[in-house]
Amino acid sequence: MSDQIISDEEKSALLDGVENGDIEVHSSTGPRYATVAEFSIPPHNCIVSNSFPRLQKLNRNLAGGFGKSVTVLLNRKVDILPAQITVDTWGEFSGRSEAPAVLYAFSANPLTGTAVVSVQAGLVGHIVETFFGGPAVRRGERRGGEFTPGEMKVVTLFCDDLARAIATTWKGVAELSPKCTAVHQSTDVVDVLDGAADIVACEFVAQFGEEHFEFHIAWPIAMLAPLLPVLEGQKKNRDAAEDARWEQVLRTALPDATVGLTTCIGNARLNLRSIADLSAGDVIDFVNPRRGRVFAGNVPVLEGRFGVHDGRYAIEAGRWLTNDAEPRTH
């Protein structure tokens, strides 16, 4: 080989560095090289997360309810199944997604920010053809790189149903009001989300018989920030002092609460003919009650002997039905 690996000037610089000690030379007493293990860095990385147990449960419930609405929309049996949850950036998530795709952006007040439903081309074609009663489009059969306005409209109906299902499913966590803000194609030059934004990507599988397709809901972590403790299953620590204050307030205010009392004074048995023959002024004979029961708000609280006190019908409290308190006379 005639080409020099390093030039004469570089050689001189290396020799000068060795002489003055700026460059260490490997020797039996000098530094030794450590063992180097191979490590492959893939072009895109994501973290599969198990840290959102409540979100996983919400996705299971969402899949069940959404599957029913899609079955009605497409007039064909469709099963929606929840899949994995990944923590990623929007840029990396978009880079792994197949193009083209429909991106359905929606807000979810009172949360701040925008979430995105990503529907891949295979599912788009299947939804559209099924909606119009045509043959199913199988994987790889789609032609062209853009969707028609009609295709975009049908997929928007699909995503609108998903937004309504989210509102219903999330009621136990927060009263969300999902609303579509924009619908784009992934080939459009538009920033739906910041590429560096951290997201929680929830994957779902739509099954049409033997065919299955994936779609995703991408929730920005910043948008879910107020709900993260709930979605992560964290238990809220109770404040003992606050509980004690509430207990004292309840104990102070409860005795002044007004409760309506009712009682049953007797019983009688009549056949249906006698009841049908009743008219104004008729008298129903009741067995003279020996004991009565008092109800507070339709809840039985005490029973005792029925009688008269100071010229009025009364019940002498004999046994409290709610606790073991001593009998008291009323």
Question: Would you call 312 exposed, middle or buried from its count of C-beta atoms within 10 A (0-12, 13-18, 19+)?
Answer: exposed
Considering only residues 329 and 14, tell me which one the structure prediction assigns the higher pLDDT: 14
pLDDT of residue 33: 52
Give, as one character, the DSSP assignment of residue 9: H
Give the ranges where the chain is alpha helix by DSSP (H): 8-20, 53-74, 90-96, 121-131, 149-169, 221-224, 228-231, 240-253, 272-276
pLDDT of residue 106: 96
Q: Assess whether 166 and 51 both reside in one domain.
A: yes
294: in domain:
yes
Considering only residues 285 and 73, tell me which one the structure prediction assigns the higher pLDDT: 73
| Mean pLDDT within 280-303 | 81
314: in domain:
yes
Q: Assess whether 83 and 116 both reside in one domain.
A: yes
Q: Assess whether 144 and 266 both reside in one domain.
A: no
30: in domain:
no
Length of the chain in terms of residues written: 330
27: in domain:
no
Closest CA to 119 of 161, 156, 91, 86: 156
Look at residues 231, 262, 278 and tell me which one is the last residue of a structural domain. Answer: 231
198: pLDDT confidence band, cut at 50, 70 and 90?
Answer: very high
Query: Of the given ranges (17-21, 108-112, 310-314), which has the lowest mean pLDDT?
Result: 17-21
| Mean pLDDT within 240-269 | 79
pLDDT over 70 (residue 208):
yes
Q: Assess whether 67 and 128 both reside in one domain.
A: yes
Using DSSP bridges, classify how beta strands 312-320 and 299-309 pair: parallel, antiparallel or unpaired: antiparallel
| Mean pLDDT within 31-50 | 54
pLDDT of residue 201: 93
325: pLDDT confidence band, cut at 50, 70 and 90?
Answer: very low
Q: How distant, in Å, are the alpha carbons of 32, 154, 242, 292 from that of 186?
A: 52, 17, 51, 75
pLDDT of residue 281: 86
Q: Assess whether 165 and 277 both reside in one domain.
A: no
19: pLDDT confidence band, cut at 50, 70 and 90?
Answer: low
Look at residues 216, 231, 246 and tell me which one is the last residue of a structural domain. Answer: 231
Q: Assess whether 311 and 181 both reside in one domain.
A: no
The per-residue pLDDT for range 116-158, each reduced to its tens digit, is 999 999 999 889 988 887 655 544 445 456 888 889 999 999 9
Check: CB of residue 283 under 8 Å from CB of residue 290.
no
Check: CB of residue 204 under 8 Å from CB of residue 214.
yes
Q: Assess whether 181 and 293 both reside in one domain.
A: no
Considering only residues 55 and 191, tell me which one the structure prediction assigns the higher pLDDT: 55
238: in domain:
no
Number of domains in the chain: 2
Residues 6+ apart with CB under 8 A from 125: 137, 141, 142, 151
Identify the CATH number of the domain in which residue 85 sits.
Answer: 3.40.1550.10
Rg (C-alpha) for the chain, rounded Å, is 37
| Mean pLDDT within 200-214 | 91
Q: Assess whether 134 and 181 both reside in one domain.
A: yes
236: pLDDT confidence band, cut at 50, 70 and 90?
Answer: low
Tracing tokens 């109800």 back to the chain, one arrives at: 295
Tracing tokens 């006698």 back to the chain, one arrives at: 274
pLDDT of residue 222: 93
**Residue span of the structural domain in which 63 resides:** 47-231
pLDDT of residue 244: 82
Q: Assess whether 226 and 260 both reside in one domain.
A: no
Q: Assess whether 264 and 214 both reside in one domain.
A: no
| Mean pLDDT within 94-111 | 89
pLDDT over 80 (residue 40):
no
